[in-house]
Structure 1
Amino acid sequence: MSTSLSQDIAPLLPYLRRYARALAGSQKSGDAYVRACLQALVSDQSIIKTEDGIKIGLYRLFHVLWNATVAPPADADGSSSIFEQTAQQRLSTLAPESRQTLLLSTLEGFSIPDTARIIDKSADEVSQLITDAIDEIDRQTKTNVLVIEDEPLISMDLTQIVESLGHSVTQVARTASEAVSAAKTQAPGLVLADIQLADGSSGIDAVKEILANMSVPVIFITSFPERLLTGERPEPTFLITKPFNPNTVKAGISQALFFAEPEAVAV
């Protein structure tokens, strides 16, 4: 890969990894897809089309390679993770292209026209795929949600979004200790967590303690995504940047619950 192309792609990789992890349901499998994409690009630079910009070209290349792969990369022991197994069950009722379109246009912030360029569809087709994906996933995944957020207006917005999807907010926690206590009182089916909380405590620490006692999908919603997208340690599968678009949060919730264990959803 030329130095110029490598330099153009490097800043985009944390976000491509985020997209891949959301599609695959785990950091390990998502990163494996990204590595495969980069290896293909190193072998032949001509496979990336940049007439619409390097970012659209990179995601379009990833999209082609993803759809050409018959099965997701396996974990180290040769088996798929529980999240991937659950995703495969739900894929029987949700077209994969709808899910990809939903994530591209909401989680990754591509416009409808740009999403259409990436997946080679019309704008009308993209809009319909997004609607179909949200409707189908929401029908499958009603649950209780714990919101960890210290800003009242933001927590109100998140509560409204959660409830608009038919879920229930069990509690809004403003500190790490409140969050841990709330999770112990009533196990959530999903956690929405900020990183930096009111008393200086950490949403990351709260989530770690919660996950030590139960299995639950987590979405981090933060103004500091760079603190989690370092590439140097395990990173969250689902990450949304503030300020957020409500549709981005809806997509993240739907996608996180899409990969949650079925028995963990209806709590």
Structure 2
Amino acid sequence: MCHVLVIEDDFLIADHIIQLIERAGGTSFDQAASQEEAIDAARLRPPSIIMSDVNLSAGTGPAAVEAIILEHGPTPVIFVTGTREACHVSWPSMVVLDKPINEQALIAAFQSLAPA
């Protein structure tokens, strides 16, 4: 089972990502629109993989991801952002993809990082 945490403050983009990841093998999903919501969601159900925007309406994706990783251990991360230059983080299992979303690239990144 592959549980995915989608951190995205635009509901339509989050929904699109969830649809793509479901096609690619994601089996369950939590959605968070802010840094705090993401951290709380991960506490309730630690994700197998995180899909995150960088800039959120409240907080940032990288700050949420860092807090989640510190609390739950190494977790693969895919940042999907329109502001690649604002993504100043680096983890071993991390990919940064640009918006607008390239569906094939997102699915390929997910399939390469998601636990089997």
Higher CA-based Rg:
1
* CA distance in 2: counterparts of 1:196 and 1:169, whole angstroms: 24
CA contact (8 A) 2:62 2:87 kept: no
1:166 aligns with 2:25: yes
Task: Determine the structure 2 residue equivalent to 1:153.
Answer: 12
CA contact (8 A) 2:95 2:109 kept: yes
Q: Percent identity?
A: 30
Task: Determine the structure 2 residue equivalent to 1:238.
Answer: 95
Q: Which amino acid aligns with 1:168?
A: T
1:213 aligns with 2:68: no
Any idea what SS the aligned residue of 2:71 has? coil
* CA distance in 1: counterparts of 2:60 and 2:13, whole angstroms: 17
* Residues 136-157 of structure 1, C-alpha deviations (whole Å, 9 max, x = no match): xxxxxx5110000000110010
Which 4+ runs in 1 deviate beyond 3 A?
none
Give 1:116-265 correspondences, 5 Å limit.
142-199=1-58, 201-214=59-72, 215-228=74-87, 234-236=89-91, 237-257=94-114, 265=115
Normalized against structure 2, the TM-score is what?
Answer: 0.89
Which stretches in structure 1 are left out of the alignment for 5+ residues? Answer: 1-141, 258-264
* CA distance in 1: counterparts of 2:14 and 2:28, whole angstroms: 10
Any idea what SS the aligned residue of 1:195 has? coil
CA contact (8 A) 1:146 1:183 kept: yes
How many residues align? The count is 113
Normalized against structure 1, the TM-score is what?
Answer: 0.40
Any idea what SS the aligned residue of 1:244 has? coil
The Cα shift of 1:218 comes to 0.7
CA contact (8 A) 1:147 1:169 kept: no
The Cα shift of 1:213 comes to 1.2
* CA distance in 1: counterparts of 2:85 and 2:15, whole angstroms: 25
Which protein, 1 or 2, shows the higher relative CO under an 8 Å CA cutoff with sep ≥ 6? 2
* CA distance in 1: counterparts of 2:54 and 2:28, whole angstroms: 19
The Cα shift of 1:255 comes to 1.7
The Cα shift of 1:198 comes to 2.0
Structure with greater strand share of residues: 2
CA contact (8 A) 1:162 1:169 kept: no
Give 1:5-20 correspondences, 5 Å limit.
none
The Cα shift of 1:244 comes to 1.3
Task: Determine the structure 2 residue equivalent to 1:50.
Answer: none
1:248–1:155: structure 2 CA closer, same or farther, 3 Å change rule?
same
* CA distance in 2: counterparts of 1:225 and 1:185, whole angstroms: 29
Any idea what SS the aligned residue of 2:50 has? strand
* Residues 161-180 of structure 1, C-alpha deviations (whole Å, 9 max, x = no match): 01112212421100000000
